[in-house]
């Protein structure tokens, strides 16, 4: 009696072990299939993310190169505008006064040029040292004033070029 019971228990034990082994095998093979499927999905997502990252990088690189070209042009324009040597009126003014093309005073309306003022009066005016010194002082003052105006004009041109350059930089940054 114990002989058949022992055989039955052994048989049921072997069947239980075989069923457990089968279940473990099927579970493990299903796990491996699921792992491969999840890995395939992971790889596909990573590939699409890499493609998007490469496209974004290329777009950023092309934008950066376009802005670098724009900024180089803006810099060139700014340097040209700020370093251009404009002619100075102050340097030409004394020669123009001496040549008579520029006058620093108006004629007196009471004595027009052909009014018959005597030659003696004209000679005495020409010989008057105070009048000559006054004319020299006027020329020197006029030259100094024109130099100040030239400096102000140069600074104004520099500031204009700076504002234009900054506006061009903003335009270049904001345009695609």
pLDDT of 83-102, one tens digit each? 877 777 777 777 777 787 77
Domain hosting 165: range is 32-102+120-174
Q: Describe the crossing of helices 89-99 and 129-174 by its angle, rounded to 10 degrees.
A: 150
Instruction: Examine residue 134 and state whether it is found in any structural domain, yes or no.
Output: yes
Tell me the per-residue pLDDT of 3-18, one tens digit each, with 9 for 90 and over: 688 888 888 889 999 9
Instruction: Examine residue 48 and state whether it is found in any structural domain, yes or no.
Output: yes
Instruction: Examine residue 83 and state whether it is found in any structural domain, yes or no.
Output: yes
Number of domains comprising the chain: 1
Confidence of residue 26 (pLDDT cuts 50, 70, 90): confident
Instruction: Examine residue 89 and state whether it is found in any structural domain, yes or no.
Output: yes
Length of the chain counted residue by residue: 176
Q: In whole angstroms, what is the distance from residue 49 CA to residue 30 CA? A: 28
Instruction: Examine residue 72 and state whether it is found in any structural domain, yes or no.
Output: yes
pLDDT for position 129: 65
Instruction: Examine residue 107 and state whether it is found in any structural domain, yes or no.
Output: no
Instruction: Examine residue 115 and state whether it is found in any structural domain, yes or no.
Output: no
pLDDT for position 118: 62
Q: State the pTM of this model.
A: 0.41
Place of tokens 């020329």: 139
Instruction: Examine residue 67 and state whether it is found in any structural domain, yes or no.
Output: yes
């Amino acid at each position: 009696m114990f002989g058949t019971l022992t055989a039955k228990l052994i048989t049921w034990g072997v069947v239980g072990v075989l069923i457990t082994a089968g279940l473990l095998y099927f579970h493990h093979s299903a796990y491996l299939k699921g792992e491969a499927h999840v890995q395939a999905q992971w790889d596909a997502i990573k590939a699409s993310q890499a493609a998007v990252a490469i496209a974004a990088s290329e777009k950023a690189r092309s934008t950066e190169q376009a802005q670098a070209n724009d900024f180089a042009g803006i810099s060139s324009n700014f340097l040209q505008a700020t370093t251009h040597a404009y002619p100075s009126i102050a340097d030409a003014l004394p020669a123009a006064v001496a040549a008579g093309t520029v006058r620093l005073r108006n004629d007196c309306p009471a004595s027009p040029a052909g009014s018959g003022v005597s030659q003696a009066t004209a000679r005495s005016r020409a010989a008057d040292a105070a009048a000559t010194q006054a004319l020299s002082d006027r020329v020197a003052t006029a030259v100094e004033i024109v130099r100040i105006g030239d400096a102000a004009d140069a600074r104004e041109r520099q500031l204009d070029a700076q504002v234009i350059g900054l506006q061009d930089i903003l335009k270049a940054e904001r345009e695609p």
